[in-house]
Amino acid sequence: MIVLEKIKEKAKELLAENKVEVVLGFTRGTLPGKCTPYFARKVDEVENFVWEEGCNHNLANYLTKLSQKAAIIVKGCDSRSIINLIKENQITREQVYIIGGTCPSTGECPDCQHQEAVIADYKISEGEGAIEDSFQDVLEFEKLSPEARKEYFYKEASKCIRCYACRNACPACYCKECFVEENLPSWVGKTTGIGDNIIFHLTRAMHVAGRCIDCGACVRACPMGVNLSLLNRKMLKDVQEMFKNVSGLSLDTELALNEYKQDDSQKFLIGGE
Amino acid sequence: MAKYLLTKKDLLIWLKKLQQEYEVLAPVKEKKVYNFGHWDGKSLPDKSYQNTLKPPKDLFFPQHEILLKYKKVKGQRPIIKAADLPEEKRVIFGIRPCDAKSLSLLDKVFLGEEYQDPFYQARRLNTLIISLVCREPKESCFCTQPFSVEGSDIVLFELNDKYLVEPISEKGKNCFPSASYCEADFHIIDKIKEIKINTYEEIASADLTEKLDLIFDSPIWKELQEKCINCGVCSFLCPTCHCFDITDNQQGSKVRNWDSCMFSGFTKQASGHNPRPSGTERLRQRVMHKFKYFPDKYGVVACVGCGRCVEKCPVNLDIRQVLLQIKNGGEKLECRM
Amino acid sequence: MKKVDKKIVAFLCNWCSYAGADLAGVSRFQYPPHLRIIRVPCSGRVDPLFIFTALKSADGVLVSGCHPGDCHYTSGNLVARRKFALVKGLLEFIGIEDGRVQFDWISAAEGNKFAQTAAKVASEVDNLPQWDRWGEK
């Protein structure tokens, strides 16, 4: 409770002193257990904020659309997304005031390693430090036969209705025009045929590879229950193993796919190495 | 209208009989969610069945449909061949009354005076709709007519382990062997009253349509859409949303795909100009189409209250709240229904 | 039964591998006819989407660029190298055979290597089970 009081106090202060024009946070939703993003612009609107189970959408997503100076109440994943957005020049550090806390809604994210905000102007709570990710789910899946893996993936992809909720809920998907919408030429078919769905999902996973921070916003947004985290986490694991890179932890390091080293692995070549 | 009392066994026998002539589709459970699929010939939806995840519209108006194929042969005129009309005879069993009603709304568009869509028409004519009245509403439901028979050929009520069957349309009457069953007496029919009814106040009333008339340019839209992420969940899971896009594919087919007014590409013109450049205009369009333009044209709102958009919206942008906020003249309501 | 030749889409960089293919041609090195060559300015231009899309109508993909250090644009292939490593891993992860999509560096001077690589990839793709073209066939 005390955490929420601190959030409100800070938000009121920022708004009252005109340091920011809007504070992004959560308010209670209309269904049990659900919270919904909330934009407080007046001091008395701050009272509507909550900080509890269900506050799990990635709020960093809204920063690229806001032109005003904003404060944002973040948990671990939101803060990591903000770091990536700053690094990719989508927002500036000055434009956003970060109120950082420890995630109040960890129930749905068994693999979360950074529940606590990694960047903040004002820190409201201290949580446990980072936890090592064992990638147990990915390792388990890799143990299956190639046929079983293919069958599983095809089945997941065939569920997709191409509503693009995964893309739109993702802070890393900020392209003004997404490859699925371009039609001159049309890069990917607009149908929900299995082929188009597979191409969409593979390309999506590649586009966010090295930038995805595994916040799970896409998984929660998907109405059809497609297991999107499987591909995301495979990319995460490979990036970590091959390039020794975990994105969204520091403003000083490059994103994995924006840099290279002379001795990067060439195992993927014919003949390998 | 006459209602007949059937035991579970009677119902299964009748459906089995229908299966000899029709492909019977029923709610099939897979990993906690129901969707319409091939009926296995023995199981009936249990108490966990509230509604299907996907609305039934794709059984009539598929998300992706080939309209015609063309082929160019050197030195000859191009060969154009219309796609075959679907001929399969189907029964959809277990559809909820709200979704059955949505079909009657889609009929206004695809089987209206101006235009009859041959694919939709063929599927509608070949399909018998047997609806199943809900036992109780979901948290996200906001239908106000749980006993609506609109769009159904036959309506079923679940009463403990028995079923009340009421044939509605001529098609329904012809498919139901009423002579083999007893007509239910009023004691039994009275039991329908025990079914829990949604107490949700009617939100899509006439004064809403009037109000929408006045607020096209209101700043309320900007405020309402602020948290919207512009995905297509609401429109693709809506039983009445029916917008589509027709494109050519590289294999020489003209294809019709669902489209959503929430997408930026929906109104983008060849010049690059987009008359609905931001989420504000797009959300306004969706609300206006459902609660203003559709009623203006067809006399009824294009929302049946199934609650799929409420339940599945990634950011919990609740249409009920949006409408209430509009009704209250833009005053921000402090959460909770 | 008539043997149907399988199709392999080859994305070759303009400065090295495409010239390598050219050299293989003028040197009269023989290689199987499976390849459908698409010339790209740099291996860095090969978006993973190209590879996935190619598999919708072909049985295999070969991507080849300049050797590390030889890139016409200094580092295009080095950036691509990280991307390709991930693509290879991703495809393997979803159960696609190792030989279906292959990568190599071939210089403009390596006409012989080009012919050998083309033959190797072609024979490997030939020996794979029938490709379902992402489930559409």
Kindly report, residue by residue over A161-183, the tens digit of the pLDDT. Answer: 999 999 999 999 999 889 998 88
Q: Is C104 close to A198, i.e. CB distance below 8 A?
A: no
Number of domains in chain B: 2
Is the pLDDT at A217 greater than 70? The verdict is yes
CA-based angle B60:A200:A230, to the nearest 5? 105
Count of CB pairs separated by less than 8 Å, A with C:
114
Residues A149 and A180 in one domain: yes
Please name which of B23, B42, B18, B62 lies closest in space to residue B236, comparing C-alpha atoms.
B62
pLDDT tens across B61-84, in order?
999 999 999 998 899 998 999 999
Alpha-carbon torsion angle A105, A107, A112, A117, nearest 10: 10
CA distance A192 to chain C (A): 12
Domain end position, chosen among A75, A92, A123: A123
The band of C1, judged by pLDDT with boundaries at 50, 70 and 90, is very low
A236 assigned to some structural domain: yes
What's the CATH code, domain C8-127? 3.40.50
DSSP helix/strand/coil, B249: strand
Residues B236 and B295 in one domain: yes
Domain match, B25 and B49 both: yes
| Sequence-ordered list of residues with C-beta below 8 angstroms from that of B207, at least 6 positions apart, any chain | B327
| Residue type at position A162 | R
**B308: nearest CA partner in chain A:** A223
Statement to judge: residues B188 and B217 lie in one domain:
no
Structure-block tokens of residue A120: 């903040």
Q: What is the pLDDT of residue B330?
A: 54
Question: Whole-number mean pLDDT of chain B?
Answer: 90
Q: Does A221 touch chain B (CB under 8 A)?
A: yes
Tell me if A223 and B226 make a contact (CB, 8 A cut-off). no
* CB A152 within 8 Å of CB A144: yes
Helix %, strand %, coil % for chain C, to 5? 40, 15, 45
pLDDT for position A186: 84
Place of tokens 């393997």: C92
Whether residue B185 is found in the same domain as residue B212: no
- Residues of chain A found within 8 Å of residue B231, distances taken between Cβ atoms: 163-165, 167-169, 221
* Domain C-terminal end among B140, B160, B194: B194
Residues B169 and B211 placed together within one structural domain of the fold: no
Confidence (pTM): 0.94
Taking CA–CA distances from A218, the nearest residue in chain B reads B314
- Distance (Å, whole) CA C107 – CA C111: 8
The whole-angstrom distance between residue A78's C-alpha and the CA centroid of its chain comes to: 7
Residues of chain A in contact with residue B232, where contact means CB-CB under 8 angstroms, are: 161-165
Interface predicted TM-score (ipTM): 0.95
- Do A182 and A116 belong together in one domain? no
Find residue A77's DSSP bridge partners.
none
Residue type, A147: E
B42 contacts: CB under 8 Å, gap ≥ 6: B12
Same domain, B48 and B174: yes
Query: For A34, which residue in chain B has the nearest alpha carbon?
Result: B316
| Secondary structure (DSSP) of B139-203 | TT---S-TT--TT-SEEEEEETTEEEEEE-SHHHHHHS-GGGSPBP-HHHHHGGGGS----PPP-
Q: How many CB atoms are closer than 10 A to CB B179?
A: 6
pLDDT level of residue B29 (50, 70, 90 thresholds)? very high
Look at residue B195 and tell me whether its pLDDT is greater than 80: no
The two three-digit tokens of residue A2, written as one number: 């005390």
Helix/strand number for chain C, H first, E second? 4, 4
Residue located via tokens 């269900």: A54
Contact with chain A for residue C74, Cβ under 8 A: no
Please indicate, yes or no, if residue A75 is contained in any of the structural domains.
Answer: yes
B262 and B170 fall within a common domain: no
Q: Is residue A82 included in any domain, yes or no?
A: yes
One domain for residues B190 and B322: no
Which among A149, A158, A187 has the least Cβ separation from residue C94?
A149
Closest CA to A57 of A95, A108, A117, A126: A108
| Residue B337 placed within a domain | no
Kindly tell me the sign of the dihedral angle through the C-alpha atoms of A191, A195, A196, A198: positive
Above 70 in pLDDT, residue C2?
A: no
Asked if the C-beta of A64 comes within 8 angstroms of chain B's C-beta atoms, the answer is: no
Q: Do you know the residue count of chain A?
A: 273
Is B334 inside a domain boundary?
no
Higher pLDDT, B8 or A109: B8
Bond from prior residue into A185 cis (ω within 30 degrees of 0): yes
Report the alpha-carbon angle C125-C130-C135, nearest 5. 120
Containing structural domain, residue B278: 206-327
Q: A1-46: per-residue pLDDT in tens?
A: 588 999 999 999 999 999 999 999 999 999 998 999 999 999 999 9
Number of domains in chain A: 2
Where are chain C's structural domains?
8-127
pLDDT at residue A191 in the model: 85
pLDDT given for residue C3 in this prediction: 65
- Domain match, B185 and B213 both: no
pLDDT of residue B335: 41
Are residues A7 and A117 both part of a single domain? yes
B187 and B130 in a single domain? The answer is yes
Share of chain A above pLDDT 90, in %: 80
Of B194, B228, B257, which one is at a domain's C-terminal end? B194
> Are the Cβ atoms of B139 and A32 closer than 8 angstroms?
yes
Residue A220 to residue B314, Cβ atoms within 8 A? yes
- State the amino acid at position B317 in one-letter form: L
Task: Kindly report whether the peptide bond that precedes residue C33 is cis, defined as omega within 30 degrees of 0.
Answer: no
**Same domain flag for A164 and A100:** no
Q: Does A206 touch chain C (CB under 8 A)?
A: yes
Whether residue B148 sits in one domain with residue B273: no
Whether B200 is covered by a domain: the verdict is no
- Which residue range(s) make up the domain with A176? 136-258
The span from the CA of A239 to the CA of A216, in Å, is 18
Question: If you compute the radius of gyration of chain A from its CA atoms, what whole number of angstroms results?
Answer: 20
Task: Write out the two tokens for A266.
Answer: 């060439």
B214 and B121 together in one domain: no
Contact map slice: A 108-147 vs C, CB within 8 A: 141-142, 145-147
* Pure H helices in B163-307: 170-175, 186-190, 206-214, 220-225, 233-237, 279-288, 294-298
